[in-house]
Amino acid sequence: MEIAVTDRVVLAYSGGLDTSVCIGWIAEETGAEVIAVAVDVGQGGEDLDVIRQRALDCGAVEAEVADARDEFANEYCLPALKANALYQGQYPLVSALSRPVIVKHLVAAAQKHGATTVAHGCTGKGNDQVRFEVGIQSLAPSLKCIAPVRDYAMTRDKAIAFAEAKNLPIVTTKKNPYSIDQNVFGRAVETGFLEDIWNAPIEDVYEYTQNPATERAADEVVITFEAGVPVAIDGRKVTVLQAIEELNKRAGAQGVGRLDMVEDRLVGIKSREIYEAPGAIALITAHQALENVTVERELARYKRQVEQRWAELVYDGLWFSPLKRALDGFVNEANQHVSGEIRMVLHGGRAVVNGRKSDQSLYDFNLATYDTGDTFDQSMSKGFIEIFGLSSKIAARRDLA
């Protein structure tokens, strides 16, 4: 892609080897000035000021850093929690959720600095290239996108050689055997020996969770929700970010949230992924249990269909799409009565609900009990069954004749 000399490129910057090299690489290949943008979504690691200075030292004309942890929790993780979003019924969209918040900051920086192009460090095999570029085009259709690793065949060997030739202030000799992406909602690990799907993951793959087989005392926790939002843990008020962080520690200490799955990537291939998302899995488990108590049957049945589609849209990079926005309205409406407390035990890699309490409960003890005081009129059931099964009965007469 040809870019005019006077143009500026906004780069999604992580502070690592590839995106540090991308700064100089883009400048040499296109002649454009590079503005680096780093977004903290709870991935841990280095201080934002250190990352900003590294970007400048690597040749960026400007570098911006954003602490987006609360924004990420409130505007991206929380909608996923309300939707019980699990791609393929397992994956809580750890990486997929972080991309749109990063995109939002990239587009804002491009508009602020008058850039015409946004760059990212994704390869041509993964989902993230789609999430970044579709997101950018959805928010700012006039912006162009480039991906040096994909578009200029910037292999790791080439990146290391470039960094050494330019004396860039980054480590180029160490190589983690895994590809890792993490944020406050969880951690994703792939590549290396994990690409052989017969190989079991070893303990050094994990960081957010302890071995669930280790003997330890169970941890009982009470989570309070208001309209689907976690607002307290064991009676202490918390923000959404604090709820995720605390349950990351407590559920993670019990080995909760480990996932080993072969997933269907958007680009058409299957990929083996190791995830650990202790806070996300604990919160979704609790939220589902409270919905079972407070959401009317037909709404609950339909919401499960919406949840699957919502997760697919987010996984596929369509966070800013019209359908996603419309489904958000449905999910929020369905959560209006999801208020109350859930008690659960965290132990042995599992989050097990053992208590539910809600002023919005649809559970009627007197209708449910089989003991004295039962108010359910069982005499009505015979006629109900006759009418309910009538169409099947009529069809059976024909088909069995």
Feature table: binding site: 12-20, 91, 121, 123, 127-128, 131, 179, 263, 275
SS (H, E, C) 223-268: EEEECCEEEEECCEECCHHHHHHHHHHHHHHCCCCEEEEEEECCCC
Q: What backbone phi and psi angles, to 5 degrees, belong to 63?
A: -140, 130
Is 70 a known active-site residue?
Answer: no
Q: Catalytic: which of 18, 40, 181, 316?
A: 18
Residue 64 tokens read as 């911006």
What whole-number distance in Å separates Cα of residue 317 and Cα of residue 102? Answer: 12
Compute CA 220 distance to the chain's CA centroid, rounded to the nearest angstrom. Answer: 25
DSSP assignment letter at 313: H
Task: For residue 195, give the DSSP letter.
Answer: G
Per the annotation, where are the binding residues for L-aspartate? 123, 127-128
Please count the residues of the chain. 401
Q: How many CB atoms lie within 10 A of CB 263?
A: 18
Q: Which of 128, 271, 316, 356 is catalytic?
A: 128
Q: Which residues are annotated as a binding site for L-citrulline?
A: 91, 127, 131, 179, 263, 275
**Is residue 47 among the annotated active site residues?**
no
Burial class, 382, CB count within 10 angstroms (exposed 0-12 / middle 13-18 / buried 19+): exposed
Given 8, 99, 250, 258, the catalytic residue: 99
Task: Report the binding-site residues for ATP.
Answer: 12-20, 121
Whether 138 is catalytic is: no
Cβ atoms of residues 233 and 223 within 8 Å: yes
Q: Is 128 designated active site? A: yes
Catalytic residue among 179, 321, 358, 361: 179
Burial code of 69-78, b = ≥16 C-beta within 10 A, e = fewer? bebbbeebbb
Residues with catalytic roles: 18, 99, 128, 179
